[in-house]
Structure formats: structure tokens, C-alpha cells
Structure 1
Amino acid sequence: MSVAIHMPSDDSISSSHKYSVILPTYNERKNLPVIVWLLARTFTAHSLAWEIIIVDDASPDGTQEIARQLQTVYGENHIILKPRAGKLGLGTAYIHGLNFCTGDFVIIMDADFSHHPKFIPQFIKLQQTYNLDIVTGTRYRSDSSPALSEGVTPGGVYGWDLKRKLVSRGANFLADTVLDPGVSDLTGSFRLYRIAALRHIISLTLSKGYVFQMEMMVRARALGYTVGEIPITFVDRIYGESKLGADEIVGYAKGVWALFTGV
């Protein structure tokens, strides 16, 4: 079930849990060192146990070599490189990375700065306060989003042109109207999962492309898992190109219908 909840005003966190980050990459040579540094700094500042599982799909730009260098800096216990033979889809990247997670909770996010690690402490605080199974970042505000407490700003999107904003809004509106999932941002991919919940949901998820994130949320609700939302600011990638194409958009529409008739 999804729940409308208030973000605690106290942003301090302490936890005996370990947090595993699954970071799918393809041609992220320039982005990877900085996002890893930001993640390491965030976890260290809050004295949290952590690891980053880098799932690279045979990037031709040398992403894997950068990952190996990062292992020498942060240690192989913190940076785990688990490459694949080629581009096999976002959903299967999470399934692959999940096999190597040793944490109690799993964070999924992009490696291109679209998702800033500064929001992770808010995710963890919200999860701890309400004992949630899932916390998801939302770029949008709606009636189903958690009420904002003082000092917490609404989500937003920066760096997108009008066409891409309309596609994203339209995709969420379609899914919200047809499926009534109880969360305001179905296509987002910045989330915190209790690892047992993630393993359960992902074992039932059939989609592999753009619709994958939506199906995960719809199935989470159908299975009775508790979900909270944190407003985030989404910034378009700094280096490289978006991987969203026309085929993914068509696949998304088909996925909405499949979930409507099958879940």
C-alpha cells in the first residue's frame, strides 16, 4: 500500500543497516568518478555502511577501467564491478546487480547526476520513521504525494526541453489514470527498497525497458508493500545522451495496458 506521510523535520539519521547502491552504467566514464565521490561522501558523513555495485554493459568509452581505478581508491569492499557482455536492458541490470548486494536496503539510481545523492539521507530518514518497504523520489507534486514539511521543497525537473517534459508528464498521467498506483512519479528510477521486498517484486516483474520502473511500483502496491515519496530535483544528464527513444515510449503505452489487464 502507498501512504501519504510527512517528511520528518529532523534530518539526522543513524542506522546499523548497510546500504547497497546498484548503479547501471553505459558510457559513463566522465560521470562515474564524481557520482561515486558524492555517494561515498554522503554515506561517510552519516556513518552508514555502504557498497556500490556497478553494472556496466560493455561500455566502449572505458567506464570499466574507471571503475577499477575507483576500487583502488575506495576499496573493493565498497566498489564492486559486475560487468555484462552488452546492453541488455535496465531491468536486467538491476536483477544482475541484486545478485551481489550484501546490504539490508538497496538504492537504485542513475549514474549521470540526474539523481543527486544528497536526497539519500531523506530517503533513509523517511524509511526509518515509518518503517517503509520502499521510498521513491518524485519529480512531481500531486494529491497522493506526501505533504511537505517546513524546509522540504517540491520536486522539479531541470534541463529538459518542452517535448521531453510533455512525454514524461503524459506517461505518468496515463499510468495514474489507468492504474491508480498511489504514487505521483511512476517513471522515476531513484528509489530505496528493503532488499527482501525488492527481490520479491523484481522476481514477478516482466518488463525490461522504460516501463520497468512503472511495473515495479504497480506490483509493489498489489503485493501490499508500503511506499513513501520524497520530492527530488531531477537534472538532465551532464555528459552523454539520453537513452529514451520512440520505441521505449511505444513500449511504455503497451506496458500500461498489459498491467491494467494483468495485475
Structure 2
Amino acid sequence: MLTFDLNAKMSKKQVQSKKNKYSVLLPTYNEKENLPLIIWLLVKHFEESGCDYEIIVIDDNSPDGTLDVAKQLQRLYGEDKIVLRPRKAKLGLGTAYIHGIKNATGNFIFIMDADLSHHPKFIPEFIKLQEENNYDIVSGTRYALGGGVYGWDLRRKIISRGANFLAQVLLRPGASDLTGSFRLYRKSVLEGLMSRCVSKGYVFQMEMIVRAREMGCTIGEVPITFVDRVYGESKLGGTEIVSYAKGLLYLFATT
């Protein structure tokens, strides 16, 4: 009798987790080495948490065969869990999310990188924090206590810290990591933000948080460890740094 009562008792938070469905938007470009591992880790942590989920792979016509690998993974895990929504060309991060949202069936959406920089082990923490506080957005942060960056040289760390500090001073966003791209959004909130954001590339993530503040969204943060990619080449270069500076000035002038 005691065993029955313990098994039958379910907390309100557990019930809420069962009702929610989480869609992971995974934009890819030349990620064939990383994709099998990131998918395996996502499936592992979602299955262990008992949450309903789907992983939407948005490949931008990768020449390295990323889409072929994704098709193999879909056969392995099932079409209900691995959803393929490829595009014909490399069209940018913001439009990839718009494309993914249109195909998402979850009421909450995770965005993250496919290059293993963001570890899916943090996903249960995102879900727990959102449920406990009913946040509209939960953002992973490298700059709060418990967070960090691994695999970067001193120059890149200084550039990242400096860029984030400058954005904090100019924009006062109420979040400690503006350029991070590991976040959990309420789907309706993400749709509203996407209709307001005009930036592309790395500035896009920064604008999302700034616009969220303007909309009065509630934002929570989970400290995460960011690990530089093991396979493939980083897509951050001089062009992206210049675009970041221009985007920061634009947001400062318009918000």
C-alpha cells in the first residue's frame, strides 16, 4: 500500500513537465562530425527527464554531408523525434529560427548550437527553473557564478568579455550574457520576438534579449560552461566582430 501511494503521488511540477512539449531548434552548417553526438546527448537527457520533445534539424545545404547524417539519425531515433527541415542555401541564423518555429509543435522552444559548445546536460536545469518561476525565457550564461568558457585563448576571452561588458553598459539588458545562444523560450514569446528583431548573425542573439526587456518578458538565467568546438571550424571572424559593433550601436540608438 505504501509503495502504491509513493508511486501515485506526483508533484504539481512533475505534472507540468508532462504537459509541456519541448522543441529543439538545431541550425546546422557543416556539422556532420558533431551532429551524431549532440543528438545522442539531447535524446539521453530528454528521455531521462521524462519530457516530451522533438529535435528539428535545420540544415543550410551543408557541402560536407550533414543532411545525410541527419537522415540516418532520423531512421535511428524516429521521425517523431528527429524532424528534418533543410533549406537550399545558407540563409542566416535568424531566418533558420523562423523556419524552425513554423515547424515546431512544442509549446516551449530550445535554441542551441550544434557544435557541442552547449552541453545538453543543462537542459533539465533550464526546465526546472522555468517551471519554478514561470519564466518566459531562460538563458544560459557564461558570466554568472558557476558559468565559464573552456578552450578559448586569452585573446578571444578578452574580446568576449569586453564585448559583453560594453553591451551591458550601453544597453542595460537585465541579463548577464547577451550573446549566448543557449536559451529556452516560451513559443508564443519567441514568435513575438522574431517579428520585432531585424538583426542577423551574432547580433541577433543580443537583440532578442533587448527586445524581450522592452516587451516586459521575465528572464531567468542558468550558469553554463561553454566549450569551444572540437570538430569543424569556428564561424566567428573579423566580419562578425564588425557586425557586432554596428549592431550594438544600432540597438543603443533605437532602444
Deviations 1:171-224 (A, max 9, x none): 111110000001110000000000000000011100011100000000000110
Aligned: 1:175 with 2:163: no
Q: Which secondary structure state, in structure 2, belongs to the residue aligned with residue 230 of structure 1?
A: strand
Structure 2 unmatched ranges of 5 or more = 1-12
What root-mean-square deviation, in Å, do the aligned CA atoms of Structure 1 and Structure 2 show?
1.1
**Corresponding position of 2:10:** none
Secondary structure in 2 aligned to 1:65? helix
Secondary structure at the counterpart of residue 256 of structure 1: helix
Matches of 1:202 and 1:174, distance apart in 2: 24
Q: How does 1:63-142 map to 2 (within 5 A)?
A: 63-141=66-144
Alpha-carbon deviation of 1:15?
A: 3.1
Counterpart CA distance in 1 for 2:182 and 2:250 is 24
Instruction: State how 1:1-263 maps to structure 2 within 5 Å.
Output: 14-141=17-144, 154-263=146-255
> AA paired with 1:225?
C
Equivalent-residue separation in structure 1 for 2:22 and 2:230 (angstroms) = 26
2:171 and 2:49 mapped to 1: Cα distance?
37
Count of matched residue positions in the alignment of Structure 1 and Structure 2: 241
What SS does the corresponding residue of 1:99 show, helix, strand or coil? helix
TM-score for both structures, normalised by structure 1: 0.90
- Specify the code of the residue in structure 2 equivalent to 1:190: F
The one-letter code matched in structure 2 to 1:257 is L
User: Which amino acid in the other structure matches residue 45 of structure 2?
Assistant: T
Corresponding letter in the other structure for 2:91: L
Deviation string for 1:146-171 (max 9, x for gaps)? xxxxxxx6100000011111111111
Q: Distance in 2 between matches of 1:208 and 1:86?
A: 16
Which runs of at least 4 in structure 1 moved beyond 6 Å after TM superposition? none
1:62-92 per-position Cα deviation (integer Å, ceiling 9, x unaligned):
1000111111111111111111111111111
Secondary structure at 2:252 match in 1: helix
Whole-angstrom CA distance in 1 between matches of 2:195 and 2:19 = 27
SS in structure 1 at match of 2:33: coil
Deviations 1:106-148 (A, max 9, x none): 000001110000000000000000000000000012xxxxxxx
Shift of 1:95: 1.1
SS in 1 for 2:124: helix
Aligned to 1:234, what secondary structure does the other structure show? strand
State the secondary structure of the residue aligned to 2:127. Answer: helix
Rounded to whole Å, the distance in 1 between the matches of 2:199 and 2:155 is: 25
In 2, Cα distance between the equivalents of 1:38 and 1:70? 13
> Percent identity among equivalent residues?
64
C-alpha separation between the residues in 2 aligned to 1:198 and 1:223? 11
What whole-Å deviation, never above 9, does each CA across 1:26-50 have from its counterpart, x for those lacking one?
Answer: 1110110111010001111111100
- 1:93 and 1:128 map into 2 onto residues whose CA distance is 27
In the superposition, the TM-score normalised over structure 2's length comes to 0.92
Secondary structure, in 3 states, of the residue corresponding to 1:157? strand
- Structure whose residues are more often helix by fraction: 2
Question: Which one scores higher on RCO, CA 8 angstroms, separation ≥ 6?
Answer: 1
Larger radius of gyration: 2
* Distance (Å, rounded) in 2 between the aligned partners of 1:62 and 1:120: 28
CA distance in 2, matches of 1:32, 1:199: 26
> Is there any run of 5+ residues in structure 1 with no aligned partner, and where?
1-11, 142-152
